[in-house]
Amino acid sequence: MAMKWRIGEVTVTKIVELEVTGGSRFILPQATPDAILPIGWLQPDFADERGRLRMSIHALVVETPTRRIVVDTCLGNDKENRRIPTWNKLQTSFLADLAAAGYPRETIDTVVCTHLHVDHVGWNTMLMDDRWVPTFPNGRYLMGRIEFEHWTTQHEREDMAAVLADSVTPVCDAGLVDLVETGHRICEEISLVPTLGHTPGHVSVRITSRGEEALITGDFMHHPCQIARPEWSSTADSDPAEAAHTRQHVLTRLADTSILVIGTHFAGRTAGRVVRDGEAFRLE
Ligand SMILES: [Zn+2]
């Protein structure tokens, strides 16, 4: 059964592509077992008893009374030339799981990429007869204008060129992409919020309905350990200082409110509320 949350009239459903324990030091080098074990609340959902991080790659389906939105499209099947060896030629049951949760791909009307990194655009496309075709043919794909311009005019890493070629260009060529600003409102309940630093045009997704509120993080935080240690930036952050500033700022705003925080890479229970904890915060 897929994990679900309700925010007023909106439902958010988690569709998991991959969940891994350990091996994430490359992304958060400061999160050593010795640094993680003292943050007791991370266990068992977000770290194991040896202090190794648990991380997840999942999509979040946001259903409002009028829209069916997929936020971030994971890695995708059959992709090649990925920097992380295990992210190549995946064969997961993601699309079957999406359909089993009640969301066949043809019924999705909106796709949101919080940013254009490899693990957020993969299922934008799927391989059919040796061609990359849009996975969600009836959807508008919303990509940040700043984000899009950044990656299409300069991609310093070779693997980013592969990502653009198989997961971004085909949906552009199909005429399905709308470039939007970082504060874009999608519908009454859903809007984008700029959370810059991880990438130049990175956004989170704000949900409000009937007095309730939630925030889908995207990658302004990769792991809940950054709630306890907001100063820990990830190696994938394009501007580590700005990313740390964004975390501190957003966590301060979220702390001790009823806003549900739903993590884009948070494993286990994936969501919770931020509360103050000494100098920093924790997820309850
Ligand atoms: Zn990511």
Residue type, 180: V
How far from 158 is each of 2, 81, 83, CA to CA, in Å? 35, 9, 9
Percent of the chain's residues with pLDDT above 70: 99
The string of pLDDT tens digits covering residues 254-280 is 999 999 999 999 999 999 999 999 999
Q: Label residue 154 by pLDDT band (50, 70, 90).
A: confident
Q: Is the pLDDT of residue 155 over 70?
A: no
Instruction: Compute the distance from residue 142 Cα to the ligand 1 centre, in Å.
Output: 17
Strands annotated E in the chain: 4-7, 10-21, 54-63, 68-71, 110-112, 125-128, 131-134, 140-144, 177-180, 190-194, 203-209, 212-216, 260-262, 271-272, 274-277, 280-283
Max CA pair span of the chain: 56
pLDDT band at 27 (very low <50, low <70, confident <90, very high): confident
pLDDT at 177 (0 to 100): 98
pLDDT for position 26: 79
Q: How many CB atoms lie within 10 A of CB 223?
A: 26
Is the pLDDT at 65 greater than 90? The verdict is yes
pLDDT of residue 118 exceeding 80, the answer is yes
How close is the Cα of 185 to the center of ligand 1, in Å?
A: 22
Q: Which of the 8 DSSP states describes residue 120?
A: B
Q: What are phi and psi of 207, to 5 degrees?
A: -120, 125
pTM passes above 0.85 = yes
Q: Measure 219 CA to ligand 1 centroid, in angstroms.
A: 6
> How far, in Å, is the centroid of ligand 1 from the Cα of 119?
5
Minimum mean pLDDT among 12-26, 101-115, 172-186, 222-236: which range? 12-26
Q: How many CA atoms lie within 13 A of 281 on its CB side?
A: 25
> Using one digit for the tens of pLDDT, what is the confidence trace for 31-58?
999 999 999 999 999 999 999 999 999 9
For the record, the structure tokens of 94 come out as: 């993601």
Q: What residues contact 116, with CB distance under 8 A and at least 6 apart? A: 143, 147, 148, 151, 163, 164, 168, 199
Q: Please give the Cα distance from 158 to 214 (Å, whole number).
A: 36
265 CA to middle of ligand 1, Å? Answer: 7
Q: Mean pLDDT across the chain, nearest whole number?
A: 96
pLDDT for position 122:
98
Coil, strand or helix at 156: coil
> What residues flank ion ligand 1 with Cβ within 5 A?
119, 219
Distance from Cα 117 to the centre of ligand 1, integer Å: 7
pLDDT at position 24: 74
Report residue 111 as tokens. 């796709």
**C-alpha 32 – ligand 1 centre gap (Å):** 20
Question: Which tens digit of pLDDT belongs to each residue from 76-93?
Answer: 999 999 989 999 999 999
pLDDT band (50, 70, 90) for residue 1:
confident
Q: Kindly indicate the confidence band of residue 156, based on its pLDDT and cuts at 50, 70 and 90.
A: low
pLDDT per residue as tens digits for the range 130-152: 999 999 999 999 999 999 999 98
